[in-house]
Amino acid sequence: MQTLVFCHAHPDDEALLTAGTMAKAVAAGHRVVLVMATDGSAGLTAGLTAGLTAGLTAGLANSGIQGLAQVRGQELAQSARSLGVHRVVNLGYADSGLTAQRADGFTTIDIDSVAQRVRQVISEEDADIVVGYDPQGGYGHPDHVHVSRVVRAAVRTSGARLFEVTLPREPIMRAAHAAARLRLTPSGFDPHEFDRAWTPRAQITHRVNVREYLTVKRAAQAAHASQASADQGVRTLQLLGALPSPVARMLLGTEYYVAVHNPTTLSASSGAS
């Protein structure tokens, strides 16, 4: 039996990126631990006030942001149960927002101080494998980039093996440019932002076949109901939830990783692995 520690930025990231691998590891008898960096309080939702009123217990006096954090915490717990996760560690930092607009957000927290907390979990669990994000933070969310730097710093002295979850860059880049040409994207969308997102296909070292666990993976995604729609536009979970099973098998049936042999803490301007 091995212990795998998966580190994510927001509740729902685990369902989108590593849920199949987590379920597969649990089924194989390994211990799976999930570390969640932020509370997800900046996530986009549809009808925020009405949704929170309906979803929370009567008389809850939290503000909208605090209320959304509680909802997303409950959704995370449900997702983790569906995957069979053995332990969830919520670091509890504030979601920085898509442009790191929150003054007290996760990205403002010193890398070493967060890395120490992650390193403590790695030590407590005697982890064999730690999973973080690629240096681009996938599509570039500031919290994802910060998680990548934190995890590299935490693993560097731990002795655990580091894998970074990612997606192949080329098909996503082509799809973004095609959607822009066909005017299927919202105003202000810049397809060139995807030219350096994720990881070139040739650099991906591990592909995990998770088709056998697709039902569990989709259940984990469905747990994050607050993120399935938004007043500002279509959400990823909304699109994935509507996929027919054959298409879902094709798009969600493989999860991608890069093995990092000499992790270093990336500088703020670095994009190299």
As beta bridge partners, residue 132 has 164
The CATH number of residue 213's host domain is 3.40.50.10320
- What integer pLDDT is reported at residue 265 of this predicted model? 57
Both 162 and 175 in one domain: the answer is no
Both 23 and 38 in one domain: the answer is yes
Report yes or no on 270 lying in a domain: no
Report yes or no on 78 lying in a domain: yes
**Which range of residues forms the domain containing residue 34?**
3-168+204-260
Both 193 and 247 in one domain: the answer is no
Report yes or no on 272 lying in a domain: no
Both 186 and 110 in one domain: the answer is no
Both 162 and 174 in one domain: the answer is no
For residue 163, which of 52, 15, 17, 10 has the smallest C-alpha distance?
Answer: 17
- What integer pLDDT is reported at residue 232 of this predicted model? 55
- What total number of domains does the chain contain? 2
Both 182 and 149 in one domain: the answer is no
Q: How many residues does the chain have?
A: 273
Report yes or no on 94 lying in a domain: yes
- What integer pLDDT is reported at residue 228 of this predicted model? 76
Both 127 and 236 in one domain: the answer is yes
- What integer pLDDT is reported at residue 58 of this predicted model? 37
Both 190 and 56 in one domain: the answer is no
Both 63 and 37 in one domain: the answer is yes
Taking the C-alpha atoms of residue 74 and residue 113, their distance in angstroms, rounded to an integer, is 26
Taking the C-alpha atoms of residue 231 and residue 49, their distance in angstroms, rounded to an integer, is 12
Both 76 and 182 in one domain: the answer is no
Taking the C-alpha atoms of residue 31 and residue 150, their distance in angstroms, rounded to an integer, is 22
Distances from the Cα of 231 to the Cα of 46, 55, 94, 203, angstroms: 5, 17, 22, 37
Both 181 and 208 in one domain: the answer is no
| DSSP-assigned letter for residue 79 | H
- What integer pLDDT is reported at residue 263 of this predicted model? 84
Asked whether the beta carbons of 105 and 98 are under 8 A apart, the reply is: no
Per residue of the chain (273 residues), give pLDDT as tens: 999 999 999 999 999 999 999 999 999 999 999 999 999 998 765 454 344 444 443 334 344 556 889 999 999 999 999 999 999 999 999 999 989 999 999 999 999 999 999 999 999 999 999 999 999 999 999 999 999 999 999 999 899 999 999 999 999 999 989 988 988 777 778 999 899 999 999 999 999 999 999 999 999 999 998 887 655 555 677 788 888 999 989 999 999 999 999 887 554 444 443
**pTM, 2 dp:** 0.87
Both 76 and 139 in one domain: the answer is yes
Taking the C-alpha atoms of residue 269 and residue 273, their distance in angstroms, rounded to an integer, is 12
